[in-house]
Amino acid sequence: MANIVLSVRDLYLYYRTRKGVVKAVDKVSFDLKRGETIAIVGESGCGKTSLARAIIRLLPRNVEKFDGVISLNGTDVMKMDEEEFRKRVRWQKISYVFQGSQNALNPVIKVGFQIAEPLMIHKGMGKEEALAEAKKYLRLVGIHESFLDRYPFELSGGMRQRAVIAMALVTNPDVVILDEPTSALDVITQANIINLLKRIKQEMNISYIFITHDVPLTSELADRVAVMYAGQIVELSDADEFYVSPKHPYSEKLMASVPTLRTDKKLEYIPGTPPSLINPPSGCRFHPRCPFAYERCIKEEPPLAETSKGSLVKCWLVHEGKR
Ligand SMILES: Nc1ncnc2c1ncn2[C@@H]1O[C@H](COP(=O)(O)OP(=O)(O)OP(=O)(O)O)[C@@H](O)[C@H]1O
């Protein structure tokens, strides 16, 4: 399809550890359209950050397996060697706002220079031209251009996060991966950042992969929601459908654990803990925590297959019409 900017097929990222091989990303597939936001949600440790790092190829040393197809505008970037990927893809076409990045700005370098730097490194721009461009992007993220000459400690947390977003946008990438972009911020600042991301998405027709464990936060931005559990996508649904009627029992439990204002809804929690990614459970990985699991769920792995409503769901109950 012409408007698909990023296509991920059968992506694996396993880590080698002393205790065994951690299957952090285990056969993940999805497509991202131009201008679309996919929210990737799931409990801590289910592989969200590993998926992001696999896509932008920022990998640790202990990788056991890194495999699959990642097509960017129709080109399989997995076939590129590190040098070509660094020159043509990372930060140029796909950029990454990593977890806690507002605290990772270099404290002794002025904010403007830090925003301009990707242009000098990746686009070969001279300093003056890059700084002029940085000024434009500072404005875009709602920071007055006078802050170009300030140091990170002179900015509030929210402003630092805006600066980091400007850094991710300055090369005009096709895809921006946002990994918990608001996690260290108060709720008002969080809302401001989400509104900013929404405005930029519309203005630049950019695609986001928005990673978070905070499901309600995604509702303002997401066009589709992908739920990850134990290294796999277990549901991929249109956002409108997902928030009203999540299909996978895990998605349902995630939504049921979200507080809503002024209702008598009893908050649920998901009993047990996410499974080991070294020895994940047989069949459906959620079966030990699923109240509806039956024999087939224990024995056989369900496919991630389309339901009548167009959602992709990895659950035997759904496929067999039991839910
Ligand atoms: N370099 C590594 N070596 C070994 N195991 C790792 C490594 N990085 C991550 N893991 C493990 O991989 C699994 C997935 O971690 P990941 O950080 O991708 O999950 P996450 O869903 O993003 O969690 P969080 O929301 O807490 O960041 C976890 O079990 C984690 O401990």
pLDDT tens series, the chain, 323 aa: 569 999 999 999 999 999 999 999 999 999 999 999 999 999 989 999 999 999 999 999 999 999 999 999 999 999 999 999 999 999 999 999 988 877 778 999 999 999 999 899 888 899 999 999 999 999 999 999 899 999 999 998 889 999 999 999 999 999 999 999 888 778 888 888 899 999 999 999 999 999 998 888 898 899 999 999 999 999 999 999 999 999 999 999 888 877 665 666 666 677 778 899 999 999 999 999 999 999 999 999 999 999 877 899 999 999 998 87
* In a shared domain, residues 188 and 233: yes
Q: Which residue in the block uniquely carries the two structure tokens 């997902």? A: 242
160 and 212 share one domain:
no
Q: Does residue 98 form part of some domain?
A: no
Residue having the nearest C-alpha atom to atom 7 of ligand 1: 15
Ligand 1 centroid to 47 CA: how many Å?
Answer: 6
Cβ 213 under 6 angstroms from ligand 1? yes
Q: Look at residues 153, 169, 185 and tell me which one is the last residue of a structural domain.
A: 169
**Do 302 and 155 belong together in one domain?**
no
Query: In this structure, which residue's CA is closest to atom 8 in ligand 1?
Result: 50
Burial 152-163 (b: 16+ CB within 10 A, else e): beebeebbbbbb
250 and 306, same domain (yes or no): yes
Residue 201's Cβ-side half-sphere holds a number of Cα atoms within 13 Å equal to: 24
Judge if 303 and 193 occupy the same domain: yes
Q: Which domain holds residue 111?
A: 107-169
Looking at the fold, whether 139 and 85 belong to one and the same domain comes out as no
Which residue lies with its CA nearest to atom 2 of ligand 1?
15
**What is the distance between the terminal CA atoms of the chain, rounded to a whole angstrom?**
32
Q: Are residues 73 and 210 in the same domain?
A: yes
ipTM exceeding cut-off 0.95 for this assembly: yes
DSSP assignment string, 80-117: S-HHHHHHHTBTTTEEEE-TTGGG-S-TTS-HHHHHHH
- Examine the domain organization and report whether 114 and 197 are in the same domain: no
DSSP at 312: E
Does the CB atom of residue 315 touch ligand 1 within 6 A? no
Shortest-distance atom of ligand 1 to CA 99:
27
Same domain, 219 and 302: yes
pTM, two decimals, is 0.93
Domain count, the chain: 2
- Mapped onto helix, strand or coil, the DSSP state of residue 184 is coil
Residues 235 and 197 in one domain: yes
Strand partners, 28: 11
Any atom of ligand 1 within 6 Å of the Cβ of 277: yes
Decide if 42 is inside a domain: yes
Cβ(22) to ligand 1 under 6 A? Answer: yes
- 219 in the same domain as 285: yes
SS3 24: strand
d(CA 319, CA 316) in angstroms, rounded, equals 5
* Structure tokens, 307: 């339901």
Does 99 fall in a domain? no
